[in-house]
Amino acid sequence: MKRIRTVMRVHVLLPSFLLLVCMAQTAAAGAGETKGALDGEIFFVERGEVGKPSDGKDTYIFLNGKFRSRHFEREYGFEAGLYTATKKGEAITFAADIQGKFHGLIHWEGTVEGDEIDVRYTWNGKQPKWYQANSKPSEHWARSFTTWATEDPGPPEGGPISHFLDGKIFLVKSGEQGKEASHHDDYLIFRDGMFTSSDCMVVLDFRESTYSGTTLGDGIRFRAQSTSPAHGTMIWDGTVRGGVMDATARWIDKRWYWTIDRMYWYRGQLLE
């Protein structure tokens, strides 16, 4: 009987012990985690493969518990993915996974401190090139850049700098005036008195620039001009009403052998 009582006592205590262990592990895993800690944050970064110099720029957007990489959205069709974030003193560490329909999965880990972000990410399942039997995971880096190759020219006609639209991101379609929308969407971003087109920055190196804003009936009109070291100037004029963006951009690029002077339209909704 003594032996039987000992066995019964162990059987009764074991589930309770396992429950306590599970609870402790869950608490440890969640310690410091803050849901949506980076929501509303936007970072412009330079990026490259580990051990190699920068090979381009990107825009990172944290919103509603999800992380977006504009470069991988545009070029490879990756979708936004959920992120987790943990506060460690003055810094916030985060992790995220984004999935591509044809290009595998990218796992991101990074640290945000103030206005700076430092990231490492691993790309698994990238489509191999024609001469490769299969592809291996590739390691990449990204970090904030705070200097631009050109000066901010200020709003057109010397208009006052505005903050009316700060904190808003618009997901828009665009196309050349009089033509259908181009293949890719774009993000028009307003923050801290500055405006940028994510795609114009990522693809053509147009800088973030100050914008002016005035009330116009039930909407807000904004104007901005942005410059690129190799692709001229874009002059923006748009109106926001009820979360709807309607804008134009005039692209002027003067070269000794030709001049580009084209108008583009942009229409879309507030990203929520």
Query: Do 262 and 250 touch, CB atoms closer than 8 A?
Result: yes
Greatest mean pLDDT among 32-36, 71-75, 223-227: 223-227
Q: Of 89, 19, 20, 99, whose CA–CA distance to 67 is shortest?
A: 99
pTM, entire model: 0.82
AA letter at 84: T
Q: Within this chain, do residues 187 and 221 fall inside the same structural domain, yes or no?
A: yes
Task: Using DSSP bridges, classify how beta strands 66-69 and 56-63 pair: parallel, antiparallel or unpaired.
Answer: antiparallel
Q: Which residues does 1 contact at the CB level (< 8 Å), separation at least 6?
A: none
Mean pLDDT of 211-237: 95
Task: Identify the CATH number of the domain in which residue 128 sits.
Answer: 2.40.128
Q: Of 203, 209, 239, whose CA–CA distance to 224 is shortest?
A: 209
- Measured CA to CA, the distance from residue 195 to residue 158 in angstroms comes to 15
> What pLDDT is recorded for position 100?
85
37 falls within a domain: no
Which of 121, 144, 167 is a domain's end point? 144
Q: Within this chain, do residues 75 and 179 fall inside the same structural domain, yes or no?
A: no
Q: Is residue 18 pLDDT above 90, yes or no?
A: no
Lowest-confidence pick of 13-22, 57-66, 132-141, 233-242: 13-22
Q: Within this chain, do residues 170 and 102 fall inside the same structural domain, yes or no?
A: no
Taking only the tens place, the pLDDT of each residue in 2-14 is: 333 333 333 333 3
Which of 144, 166, 189 is a domain's end point? 144
Q: How far is CA 17 from CA 7, 10, 13, 25, 175, in A?
A: 15, 10, 6, 12, 63
Taking every pair of Cα atoms in the chain, the longest distance, rounded to a whole number of angstroms, is 102
Query: Do 37 and 53 touch, CB atoms closer than 8 A?
Result: no
pLDDT bin (cut points 50, 70, 90) of residue 24 is: very low
32 falls within a domain: no
Q: Within this chain, do residues 136 and 161 fall inside the same structural domain, yes or no?
A: no
- The residue whose two tokens read 């825009």 is 59
AA letter at 158: G
Q: Within this chain, do residues 194 and 260 fall inside the same structural domain, yes or no?
A: yes
| CB-count exposure of residue 78 (10 Å: 0-12, 13-18, 19+) | buried
- Measured CA to CA, the distance from residue 189 to residue 62 in angstroms comes to 13
79 falls within a domain: yes
Give the count of domains, the chain.
2
35 falls within a domain: no
Q: How far is CA 177 from CA 25, 154, 181, 200, 266, in A?
A: 58, 25, 9, 17, 9
Query: Do 248 and 236 touch, CB atoms closer than 8 A?
Result: yes
pLDDT bin (cut points 50, 70, 90) of residue 167 is: very high
Q: Within this chain, do residues 162 and 121 fall inside the same structural domain, yes or no?
A: no
Q: Within this chain, do residues 168 and 263 fall inside the same structural domain, yes or no?
A: yes
Which of 144, 170, 188 is a domain's end point? 144
Q: Within this chain, do residues 136 and 170 fall inside the same structural domain, yes or no?
A: no
Q: Within this chain, do residues 265 and 160 fall inside the same structural domain, yes or no?
A: yes
Query: Do 204 and 186 touch, CB atoms closer than 8 A?
Result: no
Task: Using DSSP bridges, classify how beta strands 91-100 and 104-113 pair: parallel, antiparallel or unpaired.
Answer: antiparallel
Q: Within this chain, do residues 160 and 264 fall inside the same structural domain, yes or no?
A: yes
Task: Using DSSP bridges, classify how beta strands 104-113 and 56-63 pair: parallel, antiparallel or unpaired.
Answer: unpaired
> What pLDDT is recorded for position 5?
33
Mean pLDDT of 124-150: 79
Q: What are phi and psi of 130, to 5 degrees?
A: -60, -25
Average of per-residue pLDDT values in the chain: 86
Q: Within this chain, do residues 126 and 60 fall inside the same structural domain, yes or no?
A: yes
pLDDT bin (cut points 50, 70, 90) of residue 210 is: very high
Query: Count of CB atoms within 10 A of residue 89's CB?
Result: 7
Residue scoring higher pLDDT (24 or 64): 64
23 falls within a domain: no
Q: Of 200, 104, 112, 221, whose CA–CA distance to 156 is shortest?
A: 221
140 falls within a domain: yes
> What pLDDT is recorded for position 200?
94
230 falls within a domain: yes
Q: Within this chain, do residues 163 and 246 fall inside the same structural domain, yes or no?
A: yes
Q: Is residue 30 pLDDT above 70, yes or no?
A: no
Q: Of 120, 62, 74, 61, whose CA–CA distance to 100 is shortest?
A: 74
- Containing domain of residue 232, as a range? 156-270
189 falls within a domain: yes
